[in-house]
Amino acid sequence: MSAATHVLRLPPLPTIKDLIRLYKLRALRQLSQNFLLDERITDKIVRAAGDINDHVVCEVGPGPGSITRSIIRKAPKKVIVVEKDPRFLPTLELLQEACGENLELQIELGDIREYNFEKGFEDVAKSDWHDYCPPLNLIGNLPFNVSTNLIIRWLKSVSERKSAWAFGRTPMTLTFQKEVAERIVAPVGHKQRCRLSVMCQFWCQVRHKFTIPGRAFLPKPDVDVGVVTLIPLKDPLVKLPFEMVEKVLRHSFNMRQKFCNRGLQCLFPIELRDELAPKLFHLADVNHHLRPFMLSTEEFARICYAYNVLCGEHPELHDYDHRLPKKVVAADY
């Protein structure tokens, strides 16, 4: 194996297609497995992550290892792969052997949602949040249901600067169903703009890098796939507890086609609604006769802050959820 600057050449290996055949790695529908076989596409995904030379890269869901190979070729310092399906262990171990002394490939079998990043990255020096991004990357082509759920969990960790973000502004390069990728980056007025768009844009700079046609996967999924990068913002647009922000946005988009006050007024119990809903919009300086997808990310941030002020004045609002039946208290008898 020879290592030129920024490139690590692997010894000849069986193709991913051969490995799939050799180890009878039939794609499991219950894990939504769709494999990428084209090196040009896996290289392009890794290029979307930027310069990873000398970085510690965590790949989620490596499967038989096609993206892993592209990552390794970029000569990072270390690669950690987290894979749920143990059937891929032999193909990943083969890759580990091929890396030899040149690069540490750490294989973790398990669910990415339970992976302890603080431990995995313990050798990496922590960067200041306002500094450059740390030499860390998260890259993954995960099943769609996992990646959407994961991004919400990871945004919470970004907001709390915990887990992989205890080390600084660790960037993410992830695949999503194309429609979800479009939602993540949807700007004001876009028909796809939704709660997910605003959540992602509150905490990250988001880019839809390119689309991979469904036919590039084996087996072919019903949809095309979008590659998205999310880089945590030095100054998030909102600095309030994640749960509060999530609650405000859930109410905002509850009735997409109605003016935003229709959904947001449900943040308040009936008896306080007439007083507090107009106050919310007044404090936020937002026109309540706009549909939620017409509001800018900054306007949503002001609504969150206004709700926080109202929660300070009426602490009972914190626990209020209009979907739950009203608690019967002694005074009601």
* Region of 78-86, 192-200, 204-212, 322-330 interacting with ligand SAM (CB under 6 A): 78-86
321 is in an annotated binding site: no
Among 55, 69, 78, 84, binds ligand SAM (CB under 6 A): 84
Nearer to ligand SAM, 84 or 247 (CB): 84
Residue 116, Ramachandran bin (φ over 0: left; ψ between -120 and 50: alpha; else beta): beta
63 belongs to the binding site for ligand SAM (CB under 6 A): yes
Nearer to ligand SAM, 10 or 188 (CB): 10
33 belongs to the binding site for ligand SAM (CB under 6 A): yes
61 is in an annotated binding site: yes
Q: Binding string, 169-208, against ligand SAM, x = CB under 6 A?
A: ----------------------------------------
DSSP H/E element including 149:
helix 144-160
Strand order from edge to edge, sheet including 104-109 = 104-109, 78-83, 56-60, 136-140, 172-177, 225-232, 204-212
| Closest residue to ligand SAM: CB criterion | 61
Cα(101)–Cα(198) distance, rounded to whole angstroms? 44
Among 8, 61, 78, 197, binds ligand SAM (CB under 6 A): 61
Tokens of 259: 């003016």
Cα(185)–Cα(210) distance, rounded to whole angstroms? 12
Distances (CA, A) of 284 to 242, 304, 312, 318: 19, 8, 15, 18
97 is in an annotated binding site: no
Where do we find the tokens 């509850």?
254
Among 35, 167, 203, 307, binds ligand SAM (CB under 6 A): 35
Selection from 311, 4, 50 nearest residue 173 by Cα? 50
Among 8, 67, 206, 310, binds ligand SAM (CB under 6 A): 67
Please enumerate, by residue number, every residue annotated as part of a binding site for S-adenosyl-L-methionine: 34, 36, 61, 83, 111, 141
Question: Using CB under 6 A as the criterion, which residues of the chain lie in contact with ligand SAM when the complex forms?
Answer: 31, 33-36, 60-63, 66-67, 82-85, 111-113, 141-143, 146
